[in-house]
Structure 1
Amino acid sequence: MPEGQPAVVGVVADLQAESAQLDALVAGLDDAGWATPTPAPGWTIAHQIAHLAWTDEVAAIAATDPDRFAQLLGEAAGNSPETYVDDAAEAGAAAPAGEILAGWRAARERLADALREVPAGVKIPWFGPPMSAASMATARLMETWAHGLDVADALGTSLPPTDRIRGVVHIGVRTRDFAYAVNGRTPPTEPFHYALTAPSGELWTWGPAEASNSVRGPALDFCLLVTQRRALADLNLELVGSDAAEWSGIAQCFAGPPGPGRAPRAS
């Protein structure tokens, strides 16, 4: 196997670690545990893991067999993206729990191997714009982390935050204008400054320090906002400027139509 591009290898390693952390959370569940409802309406833990398995498998196909992926894309053309995804999760969740878990383990391993072998400069086709192997791995990391939160919430527990969430922050920063577009709004012309404290205590920054709009606070809270896993009222983020305040109400780093977000937690 080729050694792969260093940037890709690093993100893939983070993706594998994030997946393994979630795997450990669900591996010991009985059938009733897999049927536990999660914060995503209509989705049980089985739906969450089946969705990750399906998406990892499709991403592996896109990275290794563009013609086969084009066929899948054609099959999806008659459905809205959310319907296509929900149907796949529903079908996957109907399988026995052991089969769902084994399928996810195999799919994510195939994806990791495939991403490490993508040559530099090659773009992987996807349901949206094509992306590099590093971007695909980062996107899969973001989604695995976010769905892992749903599973942890369903089980009344939490997953320890790690600096792997830097990839989630990166996507949250990069998708600022997308959040405006998907909500039918015009994004600001000026960039924001982001100063976010990593779980390790390191300060991560993006954008010009002199920007009139800024977002400051824990990187974890930023990730919870952009993945719409917590309401703004439950987070410790400092928003400076009217544009940053507007963005905080529509922030969304995942593809698809505007998400409904989460209601504030009861105090």
Structure 2
Amino acid sequence: MRLTVLGGCGAWPTAAQACSGYLLVHAGFRLLIDPGFAVLPRLLGHVPPGGVDAVLVSHGHPDHCADLAPLLRARAYADPPAPPLAVHAPHGAVDAVLALDRGTAVDTAYDLRAFEPGEHFTVGPFLAETRRLPHHVPNAGMRLTASGTVLAYTGDTGPSPHIGELAAGADLLLCEATFIDRVPVLEAPYLLSAELAGRYAAQAGAARLILTHLWPGTPAIEAERAAAKGFQGPTTVARPGLTVPLP
């Protein structure tokens, strides 16, 4: 299994960083997780539009799913068109994105497979176990397993015991860390800090931690130091092009 970070910026993209977007590859199957703002150009540096085998979306905020629209356009208007793309997303999460091109060739470019956070299902070679994690909109944290290797991903979330369940013994925890060490009171139920992410990784016994969804402009070194207060394993911030081979 191999994870490539396409973007990890929270809220909006910067000149150097796309929003959330991750390419997970195993046994030749290419799964795109959370195609947020500005992810498609980064994706195209690794695989053509028709080379994506499935998409998995954690929730409906546009910094996690907006670039599904240009991806589907690129597939629909290719010559010949790519086959319909399996899109796994919580019920209603991508409706607004899909509505942008309703009544066009894009209507036949996807196969929407809606799920409720908490359900288990397969995506190619991956077993996807999901949990509903607290956020402003329904958000599916996920545990993806293939050939005994485990990637846990929180999407965007506030504090929850389900994070530890998803990440238990994971080879890699890809964890929301919008803030460094203190989350504003109004956001505290819905978002995490890097320090909290480190604690969750330690409690879960994860082998490695990647911090993602940092607020634009957050110094990576500060987030990594905050996470290290609670987690002693390898820790890094999601950076475009970062590739992590998993056992």
TM norm structure 2: 0.30
Q: Which has the higher strand share?
A: 2
Larger radius of gyration: 1
